Amino acid sequence: MDISNIARKLDLSNNNLVVRKAAEIRRLCDAQFDSSIIGVGEICKAVICLEIAASRLQVIFDRQAAVKLSGMSEKAYTRSFNSLQNVIGFKIKLNIKELAIQFGCVRIIKSVQTILSSYKERFLASLPASRRANADFTRPVFTAAAFYLCAKKQKLKVDKLRLIEVCGTSESEFSCVSTSMTDLCFDCVGVSKEKKDAKDVKGNRELLDVLPGKRRLDDGGYSSDDESSCYKRHKKMEEAKYEDWKSTVVDSIKKNPEKGAKKVIQTSLSFSMKDETKELQVES
């Protein structure tokens, strides 16, 4: 499909500069690699080229209309957009101040700059001398990860998926950089989690009380070594209860022997009467 027709559906036909730039990017894609390898069709590729051209020329672009026109889901479109942009070598320049204004977190600008510088120093210190020259911190994913972790540290809400979309990276790469930055700069971005003591939690205390093997000696209970003796005591108590019940039943029978005999005689008579009735019915 002609890229100008797609531009018309996205209300970009009047901007000839964007259309020409998108056509140039499309020719660059066709020359460097086959976009079908990464699952990008011709229509989707044309839409992505138009968005890249619009973003580089700072022209307003309708992302929702582009996703609908591409025939892909928003997540798949974002993944294809990032892949295509990385393959052709178009890097997004992410400015901390613009990012802070866009997400409404202006007060963390200095903190993000401090985190980035600390991460760069500590990361280079962990590398061998031969690999330090090849380290590249210009990618926008580092700025985005530092911005997100700093906002999380100061309990500010930031849309993670939108941030990933703005920096033009993937969720896996963003997660990997965030984990690395948290490990090296935990004193700057780490969030300590308060752990509750099991004794302070009522439900956990009940569970510990139910299981004899889990009780502690300093709580006045018994350990797993005394579990067998506890079982023996419990068994003796059950046997004593059974003997009491048995003696009670025997004493009641001894006191009223006639009552028990009558029940036996009545039962035997009733069965014999039923049997005689059946025999009479058969003979008749």
* Tens-digit pLDDT profile for residues 121-170: 988 888 888 888 888 788 888 899 999 999 998 888 888 888 887 777 77
Residue 209 has pLDDT above 70, yes or no: no
Which two tokens mark 165?
């979309």
Percent pLDDT > 90 in the chain is 6
> Cα separation of 52 and 37, whole Å?
20
Rounded to two decimals, the pTM is 0.51
Cβ atoms of 158 and 148 closer than 8 Å: yes
Q: Would you state the pLDDT for residue 207?
A: 38
Cβ atoms of 98 and 185 closer than 8 Å: no
Tell me the residue range of the domain where 65 lies: 3-88
**Mean residue pLDDT across the chain:** 75
Q: Would you state the pLDDT for residue 4?
A: 85
Which two tokens mark 107?
């007060």
Residue 223 lies in a domain: no
Residue 215 has pLDDT above 50, yes or no: no
Same domain, 201 and 122: yes
Cβ atoms of 145 and 101 closer than 8 Å: no
Encode pLDDT of 61-84 as tens digits.
888 888 888 888 888 887 788 778
Amino acid in the structure at residue 18: V
Q: Would you state the pLDDT for residue 147?
A: 92
From residue 101, give the alpha-carbon distance in Å to each of 66, 88, 91: 25, 29, 21
Same domain, 36 and 19: yes
Residue 196 has pLDDT above 50, yes or no: no
Top-confidence range, 38-47, 65-74, 218-227: 65-74
At which of 40, 66, 88 does a domain end? 88
Q: Return the CATH number at 130.
A: 1.10.472.10
